[in-house]
Chain A
Amino acid sequence: MRKHLIDKLLARAEVDQKVFLLIGDLGYSVVEKFRDKFPERFLNLGVSEQAGIGIAAGLAATHLPVYYSIGNFPSFRCLEQIRNDVAHEQNPVMIVSLGAGFSYGTAGYSHHAIEDAGAVASIFGMRVATPSCIHELDQILEGHWQTPAPVYLRLGSAETCDSCLTQVPASLGHQARGAKSKSDTLSDKLLLVTHGEIGKEARVAISDSGANVTHVSLSEFNSFDTPTLNFISSHQRVITVEEHAAEFGFGARIRSRLANVNFESFEIIGVPMLDFHIGGRREFHLERSELDRVSLSDRLRQANARPLK
């Protein structure tokens, strides 16, 4: 998704002199074309995330800064700068972290971005988003250019939209992208809400399980519009899936927002606390966390098989 991001930044920078790309000594092979095209609006700040976020916040007085890094570096390392200098002052900085979830699986725990969204979203005034595909990314970028505000953007590795859900139910908020599955009518019984690129696994799981389920992809982590919440509330059973710590993640936030809704069931599927000294590819970690397509398929099958009250 990083190539798509840089292409979009390049296109925007052509028409908007304010776009300014800052990097934390990362982005090899993708940021160079921005650097070469707009050298006066590009800076590699080196390995200095704390100063980097502070600088981005200051730069926001005159520009639209995008701070690009990976994994946990632009979140945990500089959380207070995000809180005090970006969010509290509402400086419209876009912080980009490539490698959402287990994208850098083999790199080890330091690179597992599985708690970052919850940490950043705990800050008042910070919007967090994880697009599942390039179309969701486009939607976020367009919104940001129109109404710049502090945002923490988590990117996976997809450079296409093969997981894109294009059939948006009329009742769904503009934030979410949804699709029906199996039946011709949207299921009002079982709703699957996914966050980020895990939606791709979920789509396969739906197909494998044969479950009658409505699937919605929601890129917002902590900022939900009313139509989206109403849409979720209109279902009896809800399952949320995310490649992030379940305990303080996306699903828990939705459940909290809908605490007064009497769902028949509300399942939150995400990353559990495990011993992450054990390494492996993304697929390995998904399986270990029971977020792989087989595990998800089983969960859907079980949910679909339970008789409704």
Chain B
Amino acid sequence: MHSVPELASTARRMVVETSAKTGSPHLSSSLSCVDILASLKFHGASSDIDRREIYLSKGHAALGLYAVLVTAGQIPPSALDDYCEDGSIYEGHVNSKIHGIPLSTGSLGHALPFAVGRAIGESVGSLELIHWVVLSDGELDEGSNWEGLLIASHNRLSKLNIIVDRNGLQSLASTEETSALEPLGAKLEAFGWKVIHSPGHNHAALGEAIASAEKFAGPCAIIAETTKGYGVKDVENNPVLFHYKPATSQHVRDISNSGFEGR
């Protein structure tokens, strides 16, 4: 039985190797959220994990999700060989044709409202799913997210939570230089959400935050403080560059030599 950090580390390595092999972009965005996704997929009892419906709203980090799903045994390892290949369902942005993925994403600001609809529909039924939407901080520029936040809190949706991958960066500059989000926690609270701050690469803390949110009788937002490109020093130092550029063979060597926790 592997620990969550071990599993996340395996997924992170898959991300770097696949990015280098396929020349695919969005490396730093994928590395930013691997620990979040791994925590959702691996933290807690299997009965808790099985109830989690995960939406990756930041669909450009698809490789991060696919790597975690491979690690979880939900999709075959060959998925990463097929990543971005002709005729493959493992597209560069998240595809709902993949087992266990409820919504195709890629255009930002779509998954939260969709999950709100799922949660509303199930609130009058007997299903016990808990809907988890992983958003980038940059995509909080989208008004549809704030519409969804308002509606979710107004309807006191207790089976809906979000995790904001708060790496502080957008595609060209920081979120604060682009369209300032801070004070983000206060804004989310003002929209009626319970807010939990968590380090975004600490699995114990993330797991605790997830468990706490799932017990709360209302929508909960975890703001996960992350590092874009986490786990590969060169990428961490050039996160904007590696928003678009793929990993190199040197990055593969770097990640292979790192420990379970990255650094």
Query: A interface vs B, CB < 8 Å?
Result: 20, 40-41, 43, 45-46, 48, 50-63, 65, 80-81, 84-85, 88-89
Contacts and interface: CB of A to CB of B under 8 A. Distances in A.
B109 interface: yes
Contacts, number: 90
A54 B117 contact: yes
Contacts of B124: 40-41
A54 B118 contact: no
Top 4 A-B pairs, shortest CB-CB distance: A58-B117, A54-B113, A51-B147, A62-B121
Contact of A48 (B102, B106, B147): B147
B191 interface: no
Interface string B103-143: 11011011011111111111011010000000000000001
Contact of A54 (B106, B114, B122, B125): B114
A46 B114 CA distance: 16
A84 B121 contact: no
Interface of B: 96, 102-104, 106-107, 109-110, 112-122, 124-125, 127, 143-144, 147-148, 150-151, 155
Given A51-B144, A58-B121, A85 B110 contact: yes
B104 A63 contact: no
B104 A48 contact: no
A20 B103 contact: no
A58 B96 contact: no
Nearest to A47: B147
A50 B144 contact: yes
B107 A54 contact: no
Contacts of A61: 102, 117-118, 121
Nearest to A78: B144
A89 B110 contact: no
Contacts of B150: 46, 48
Max chain A C-beta neighbours (<10 A), residue from B96, B106, B124, B147: B147
A52 B148 CA distance: 8
